Amino acid sequence: MLLLRRIGVVAVSAVLGVALAGPAAHADWTFYRTDPHLIACWEKVNAYGGVYQVSNGLLNGTGGWHSARVLVNRPWVGITADQTYVAAPGEWKIGAIANVAIVPGDEYLVDLDGARAVGIPAHGIPFYMNHCQVSESPLQNIREAISFGLAQLDSVYTGGCADPWRFGVIPQQNMWHNGSCLNQNNYFQPAGVKGFDCSGLIFKMFEYAGVWFPWASSTDMKNALPRIDKSQLQVGDLLIKYGHVAMYLGDGNGDGIPSMLEARPRWGNPDGSMTGVMISDAREYIGSGEFTAHRVTWA
């Protein structure tokens, strides 16, 4: 099974092949480290020995067309459900609900572009993959901004001195970004791989949504944006200190742990780069006196 982690995405009707316009945010889904991203959300139905109703989707942040095939395999019976859907470049596609029974031990399978990417037995579903709930922004611009940000998950971290590459510009050759202008480390960015720093990501999210947002550094954002009390945080608000910024995503699954979208150097990769864009626990920033909460009131 591929490495998993949780991301915030969008709640939609689980109709085969539905494409989303202006996705909402956010729900807690399981995110598979594929490109494009396969996702799944498991809801347990406590009847008939236990059945999971699995919403599944394909978040295509690439420039090409991609297909997902979702199957349910039952021991000694064979395939009991089989669906295929295709996502265009930049499209978010949702498949039909798949029913996965704990007894007799169904297996949930997903192929990406014809190759097996996911295989999970119903009895092996981790707790954090269950009970998906939705908390979404009522503002179309915020939903679009978050949709863009989620499509950048797992992009590498460039550091704040890496203009223009910290805004998602893809280099044609391997690059080392010198971080000395901000007393940061140097960061490696492989050829053909998109990258961001924290403020570059936020800037591009609002730009994508068509929101006037002229600030390209966390310092300028902190000094210019209207400040709100942290008790009033809403999906799409910003948590900012001098030197870092993240977007608040709320508590989508109701577990009491709010999340946020940010770009920071967190995980090292075998090629020497650092994974940058990620979903994180927002409690650290909410509880820190260094971070203040801000709202783009005209979004």
**pLDDT at residue 107 above 80?**
yes
4-129, what's its fold? Immunoglobulin-like (2.60.40)
- CATH 3.90.1720.10 residue ranges for the chain: 140-294
Q: How far apart are CA 13 and CA 151, in angstroms?
A: 20
CA atoms within 13 A on the CB side of 97: 14
Report in angstroms the alpha-carbon separations of 229 from 149, 250, 292: 24, 15, 8
- CATH 2.60.40 residue ranges for the chain: 4-129
Domain 140-294 maps to which CATH number in 3.40.50.880, 3.90.1720.10, 3.40.1010.20, 3.40.190.10? Answer: 3.90.1720.10
- Token pair recorded at residue 206: 């609002």
Most confident of 8-17, 84-93, 218-227: 218-227
**pLDDT at residue 17 above 80?**
no
- Provide the percentage of residues in the chain whose pLDDT is more than 70: 81
pLDDT, position 3: 27
User: pLDDT per residue over 227-278, tens digit each?
Assistant: 999 999 999 999 999 999 999 988 766 667 788 889 999 778 888 999 888 8
Lowest mean pLDDT among 62-76, 119-133, 154-168, 212-226: 119-133
- Provide the percentage of residues in the chain whose pLDDT is more than 90: 45
Query: Is the pLDDT higher at 191 or at 105?
Result: 191
Of the pLDDT bands very low, low, confident and very high (cuts 50, 70, 90), residue 293 is: very high
**274-281 and 292-294: which strand pairing?**
unpaired
**pLDDT at residue 294 above 60?**
yes
